[in-house]
Each structure stands twice: as C-alpha cells, then as structure tokens.
Structure 1
C-alpha cells in the first residue's frame, strides 16, 4: 500500500497546509513536502533524477518548469476526469502535467502614495512622467515581459519597454513577496509584477495596499505532474487528481485563480493572456538577451 508521497513544490509555505491536510485526512496518504522557488524545484528534480535518486513522486511548479521536466522525459502521462473541466490550454497534448492554478500578475500600489484616480488604465499610461522613479519590478519576471511584448506586436512592445526604462525607469527587486511588502511599506509606490493573491492577502490584514489590473492581464500556470520513476505512482496520481478536482476550492479560498472552471472566481472577469511555456523555452535565449538589455540595463 502506498501510504505516503513526496511532493516538491513552489507553492507558498503558508498555503500548503490548507491544500494538503484535507487530502491526507480523506485518503490516509501522508504528503511530505519540500518547498522552494520554481527554479530550485526544477533543478533539484533534474539533478536527483539524473543521479537515479528517485525521491520525488509529484512536482508542482510553474508550467515552464514542468515543460522542462517533460522534455527531459522525466514525467509520465496521467489521465484525469477533471481535464475536461480545466480552462483551455491547461493540459498539453502529451498529458504529462496539468495546470492547477493560474497566477495573475497585477499592479500593486501603496494607498498612501498613489491615488486611485491616478492609476494607469493602459500600459501606455505607465509612460506618464508622474511614474518616474516610482515603479518596481520583480527580477525574474521575464515571462510577463515576453507576453506583454507579444500582445502589443513585437516591434511596438519592445519600443514601449525601451521608452519605459529610459524615461521613468524601473526599480528591480528580488522576490514577489518581498516586492509586495515593499509596496505595503511605501518603499516602492507601485509594483508592476506581483501575483494577485499577495496584495489581496495583505489588504485583508489591513495593510495600506491595493491592486489594479492592466488588461489584458498576464497569467502564468502552475502545474502538477507525476514523475516517471515515482515510487508511489498510484498515490501520486490520486493526489494530482485531487488537486485538479476537490482541491480547487482550497486554491480559490487562498485567492488563486483555479484552473477548474466549475469553481467560481471573480478573476475570470478579466481579459487574460496565458504565458506559453513552449514559446518561453524555445526562444529563451533571445528573450533573455532582450530582457537584460532593456529591463535590467534600464534598472534604477
């Protein structure tokens, strides 16, 4: 009997309990977790698997990281009755992972520093001189940059970011939670790229922070996959199925956008662009160079 599984995940530590406990109670399967950034989860999984140390059963991280594991032939295809209920594009053709939640990048602002009436309504509004020296950006958000550039048309999009960097500048910070806290503290008046649930959770605690969404909003998927060499494949597949079905309400309660369309969410009202993990990987070098030249070089 498979009474335990090991999960490597990038989900915030504090959000793991409400997700995992109901599963453990219902199915009697203990879930051991190791939590780190998506990159670290991917690298540890790659390194251990290449060394034939099969410690991990289930990986839950960004779709880009899961696509890398797929390309390295480390995942196994899984069938779930919930696939049919997920938002379009949530399950790739190879069926080796499935998106559980979408994180929406939003613009968080300090309510003491920024008036609601001054908020940007379009991306172009960010070029207004009133934003000079007031915009923050998370260092790893290359996928947001790529998706916005493509939505404007590549030449126009790159021109927009060059202008933004040279006229108003962006202050680049490490860590979404860190950047959100800096907005709440007033050190960064407005952050361009934090995940929707972060300012929302702080706002509920009474912090002077709120958020707005420039549309189309950019969302990136977090996905779950079962390892090809999982020691507990049946329990792992059960857990994956749970995350796509029963577990979806717990995600919604934590302010994430659930991939399962049966779960209501106010976030579904926004026009959305989904980060394409394959584009992101296939042209990684090209985009990284543009990103470094425009955003990092223009960083204040």
Structure 2
C-alpha cells in the first residue's frame, strides 16, 4: 500500500495525481514548467488553462508554498500572476480536449491519467519533460470507496471493496489509473516526485477553499473567448 493512500480509518482505492500538462507542439522542450511557481512567469501569458472547480489543487499548492517558506503575501501574489496568465474551463476532460486539439497550450493542472490516456491514443500531450523526470511536486489525491450504513447486501459490498484493494488494482492499471497498492507493471508514477496531499485540511474546510478559489477566478475569461 502506498503511504499516500493509507489512513487510520480508511484506505484509498486509487490516487488522482495533480500535475501540469501541455501540448508538445505548442510548448517546446525546455519551455515546460519546472515548478508550480513557474506558472506565474509572464512567458505563459494567455497560454494556461485553469479548471473552475480545482479548489483542492489550489489549497494544496497554497499550503505547500507556505510550508516551504513563502509568506502569505508572496503566495497571494503568485496566484494573482498565475490567474493573469490564464483562462478557465469546466471539466478536466473538456480541458484535455482543448489541449489535444491545440486550442490551449498548457493546463496548470490535470489528472495525469487523463493526460496519459490521450497520449496513448496519439495526442501530442504529456506531463513529463523530455528527460522523463519532473521537478514539479505532484499531489496524489486519494480516492476511496464508501459503503452505505443501510446497504441491503453489506457482505457483497465488503467483497467488492476487498476486490478493489486486491485483484481490482490490476484493472485500474489497465485503465491508466494510479492504484493505491503496488502493482507489477504500473508506471503511472514514473518520473514524478510525490508530496503529501492535505486530506485532513481539505475535508475539514473545503467550503472555505471553494469560496477562495471562486473569488480568485472571478472575471477570468473562459477558453474560446
């Protein structure tokens, strides 16, 4: 079991990895971001897409910066610069469609499995530089399975949960998803540097971060405008 997916009272079934993605025809080798801070660089003006509901990503990057020595003022300034470089879109799949078609050059964040699926189909997209090793800290958000307290067939539900954490992990790999356990042949984390995802902070105060992120994006044009 990956450390990022194991908790005191529950266990993740898979991980969604937060990382930038870009169109390799529009972002040439050496132009890709090497840190989250790079997204504030003026060279990306008009080239970045943000997803309108990614408050969990916003919260985690903010905490990462603060924990690594940035002041709140410095953090706020970085976000303002990133937003000034960006347009917005709704939905990670929609964002990827924009990226694969070349309508947008880069996404500040998308789930790596979505990028991988598109790349596997031949789209000119990636989340790794030519070296195959990213220096952007990747946030692994754990996804779990819950069982209803009033489930009519609780034994069957437990069997499914057990399957998801054992043999079902292999099926996730086939779908280019990141399993929460070590599965032979899984390469979804290759080249990535994982940092802890703030599950406790987000689950305890998600509404506040939703409001902050909404306020940050207020007035930003949508892709296509």
**Residues 190 and 89 from structure 1, CA distance in 2 versus in 1: closer, same or farther, beyond 3 angstroms?**
closer
Aligned 8 A contact 1:110 1:210 in 2: yes
The 5 A counterparts of 1:196-235 are 196-212=112-128, 213=134, 215-235=136-156
Following superposition, the deviation at residue 107 of structure 1 comes to 1.7
The one of 29, 32, 38 equivalent to 1:125 is: 38
2: CA distance, partners of 1:234 / 1:103? 28
Q: Which has the higher contact order (CA 8 A, sep 6+)?
A: 2
For the Cα contact (< 8 Å) 1:144–1:275, is it kept in 2? no
Within-5 A mapping of 1:148-159: 148-153=61-66, 155=72, 156-159=74-77
| Bigger helix share | 1
Match of 1:258 among 179, 186, 193: 179
> Which residue in 1 is equivalent to 2:15?
102
Q: Which has the larger radius of gyration?
A: 1
Distance apart, 1:205 and its partner CA: 1.3
* 1:182 has 2:98 as partner: yes
8 Å contact 2:51–2:91 — kept in the other structure? Answer: yes
Select between 183-192 and 104-113 the one with higher mean Cα deviation.
104-113
Instruction: Name the counterpart of 2:107.
Output: 191
**How far has the Cα of 1:152 moved from its partner?**
0.6
The structure with more strand, counted as a fraction of residues? 1
In the alignment, which residue of structure 1 is the partner of 2:5? 90
Task: Give 5+ residue unaligned stretches, structure 1.
Answer: 1-85
- In angstroms, what is the RMSD of aligned CA positions? 2.0
* Distance in 1 of aligned mates of 2:197 and 2:38: 23
Question: Match of 2:12, SS?
Answer: strand
Count of residues in correspondence between the two structures: 210
TM-score (structure 1 length as normaliser): 0.65
Cα displacement (A) at 1:284: 2.4
Change (3 A) 1:268 1:115: closer
The answer on 1:282 being equivalent to 2:189 is no
- Normalising to structure 2: TM-score of the pair? 0.85
Runs of 4+ in 1 over 4 A off after TM superposition: none
Q: Map 1:233-272 to 2 at 5 A.
A: 233-263=154-184, 265-266=186-187, 267=189, 270-272=192-194
Structure 2 stretches of 5 or more lacking a match? 129-133
> 1:91 touches 1:99 (CA, 8 Å); kept in 2?
yes
Query: Which among 78, 81, 84 is matched to residue 160 of structure 1?
Result: 78
d(CA) in 2 for partners of 1:176 and 1:230?
Answer: 32
Counterpart residue number, 1:141: 54
After superposition, residues 8-87 of structure 1 pair within 5 angstroms as 86-87=1-2
